[in-house]
């Protein structure tokens, strides 16, 4: 019984870690393939180390490029690896180009696919992530949903077979490492910002977002993603005085920053939930969110690009967690085992 896992970006390293450990615990063989979509040491290697992810057997070293180049290169390199390893399932995570490439390559080779974080929808087809999610869900046999909302989204698209609400694997890892989040506050009174999405890094929108951030009457600490760093320079956008740029940090350090922040500003999916688990208010710098449960909990407010960023009303506190019990990974592995037959390959 062999599982082949395809990962390649920061959030996927985080999500795959607890599942890898659950697979080891259940005695299931896992072959990890790192597409190399993220390749800077502090965007990849650091995560393998600190999250105790087993070493990848393959690194495809695909790196950056246009969507077509990047996804195409991944497909080309994944195909022979999947063929050679001939796993029972290919496991993919989330909604990046690595997710789509893993799912497409496996489906063409008639290998069953398990999609972790299935059924999320922003209903904005201009987001590359939305295309990746929809396509991946439609070729997957096992769909692991973090909540009932994602299960309902799948139902509306006619997907009901193989759908399991297991909770969020990010909550598993949050619980596992909670006691290791750094205690020291390096920045005094501040708010934490992360921002890198394609829709926020066009010249026009990035200018608007930076203007919003400059209106916050507080120090804004920003571990900056290389994409946004490049865009700020390319568009000659002036960095406002309250913005403190730092290099990208590992996940534990980021959780330390969330622990001490007044509130969170982000366009990341994961951080919207991590803020909730930390009891911190999150302002999501997007026009919509897939994680509507966080908005219903009042822990999250959407800030559209045309809005002014009003941080006067902040809800910090003990929120109810709508994303499972912290045992999603074990449930995923149980479900895979129960649906695993060596003769299950589609002919």
Which contiguous run of DSSP H or E holds residue 70?
helix 67-85
CA neighbor of 99 nearest in space, from 50, 157, 138: 138
**Buried/exposed 312-328: b ≥16 CB within 10 Å, e otherwise:** eeeeeeebebbbbebbb
Q: In the set 76, 230, 298, 304, which binds ligand UD1 (CB under 6 A)?
A: 230
Q: In the set 5, 35, 37, 300, which binds ligand UD1 (CB under 6 A)?
A: 37
CB of 201 to ligand UD1, least distance (A): 8
CA pair distance 197, 96, nearest whole angstrom:
11
Contacting residues for 268 by C-beta, under 8 A, at least 6 apart: 11, 194, 196
CB of 54 to ligand UD1, least distance (A): 21
128 contributes a contact to ligand UD1 by CB under 6 A: yes
Cβ neighbours, 10 Å, residue 17: 26
CA neighbor of 253 nearest in space, from 325, 324, 180, 319: 180
Q: In the set 1, 2, 39, 182, which binds ligand UD1 (CB under 6 A)?
A: 39
**Cβ nearer to ligand UD1, comparing 72 with 279:** 72
136 contributes a contact to ligand UD1 by CB under 6 A: no
What are the residue numbers of the active site?
196
CB of 226 to ligand UD1, least distance (A): 3
**Mask 182-201, x = binds ligand UD1 (CB under 6 A)?**
--------------x-----
Torsion angle (degrees, nearest 10) of CA 107, 113, 119, 122 = -50
Say if strands 219-223 and 243-246 run parallel, antiparallel, or are unpaired. Answer: parallel
Q: Which stretch binds ligand UD1 (CB under 6 A): 6-14, 76-84, 203-211, 303-311?
A: 6-14
Q: Which stretch binds ligand UD1 (CB under 6 A): 152-160, 222-230, 281-289, 312-320?
A: 222-230
Using CB under 6 A, which residues numbered 47 to 106 contact ligand UD1? 64, 95-97
Q: Which stretch binds ligand UD1 (CB under 6 A): 38-46, 161-169, 293-301, 302-310?
A: 38-46
CA pair distance 40, 57, nearest whole angstrom:
19
**Buried/exposed 21-33: b ≥16 CB within 10 Å, e otherwise:** bbbeeeebebbbb
**Cβ nearer to ligand UD1, comparing 41 with 186:** 41
Q: Which stretch binds ligand UD1 (CB under 6 A): 36-44, 47-55, 183-191, 231-239?
A: 36-44
Size of the site for ligand UD1 (CB under 6 A): 18
10 contributes a contact to ligand UD1 by CB under 6 A: yes
Three-class secondary structure assignment of 216-278: CCCEEEEECCHHHHHHHHHCCCCCCCCEEEECCCCHHHHHHHHHHCCCEEECCHHHHHHHHHC
Binding site for ligand UD1 (CB under 6 A): 9-11, 37-40, 43, 64, 95-97, 128-129, 196, 226-227, 230
């Amino acid at each position: 019984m062999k599982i082949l896992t395809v990962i390649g970006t920061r959030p996927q390293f985080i999500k795959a870690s607890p599942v890898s450990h659950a697979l080891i615990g259940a005695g299931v063989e896992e072959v990890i393939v790192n597409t190399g979509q993220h390749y800077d040491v502090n965007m990849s290697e650091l995560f393998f180390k600190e999250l105790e992810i087993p070493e990848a057997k393959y690194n495809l070293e695909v790196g950056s490029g246009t969507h077509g180049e990047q996804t195409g290169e991944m497909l080309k390199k994944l195909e022979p690896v999947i063929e050679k390893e001939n796993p029972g399932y290919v496991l993919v995570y989330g909604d990046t180009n690595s997710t789509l490439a893993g799912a497409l390559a496996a489906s063409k080779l008639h290998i069953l696919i398990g999609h972790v974080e299935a059924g999320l929808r922003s209903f904005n087809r201009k987001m590359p992530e939305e295309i990746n999610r929809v396509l991946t869900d439609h070729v997957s046999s096992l769909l692991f949903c973090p909540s009932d909302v994602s299960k309902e989204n799948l139902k509306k698209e006619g997907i009901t077979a193989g759908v399991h609400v297991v909770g969020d694997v990010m909550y598993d890892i949050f619980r596992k490492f909670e006691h290791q989040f750094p205690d020291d506050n390096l920045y005094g009174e501040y708010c934490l910002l992360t921002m890198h999405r394609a829709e926020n890094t066009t010249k026009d929108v990035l200018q608007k977002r930076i203007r919003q951030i400059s209106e916050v009457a507080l120090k804004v600490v920003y571990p900056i993603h290389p994409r946004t760093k490049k865009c700020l320079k390319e568009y000659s956008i002036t960095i406002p005085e309250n913005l403190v740029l730092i290099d990208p940090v590992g996940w534990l350090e980021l959780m330390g920053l969330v622990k001490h922040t007044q509130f969170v500003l982000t366009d990341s999916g994961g951080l919207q939930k991590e803020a909730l688990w930390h009891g911190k208010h999150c302002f999501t710098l997007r026009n919509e969110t897939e994680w509507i449960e966080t908005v219903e909990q009042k822990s999250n407010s959407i800030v559209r690009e045309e809005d002014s960023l009003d941080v006067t009303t902040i809800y910090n506190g003990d929120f109810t967690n709508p994303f499972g019990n912290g045992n999603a990974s074990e449930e995923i592995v149980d479900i895979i085992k129960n649906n695993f037959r060596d003769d299950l390959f589609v002919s």
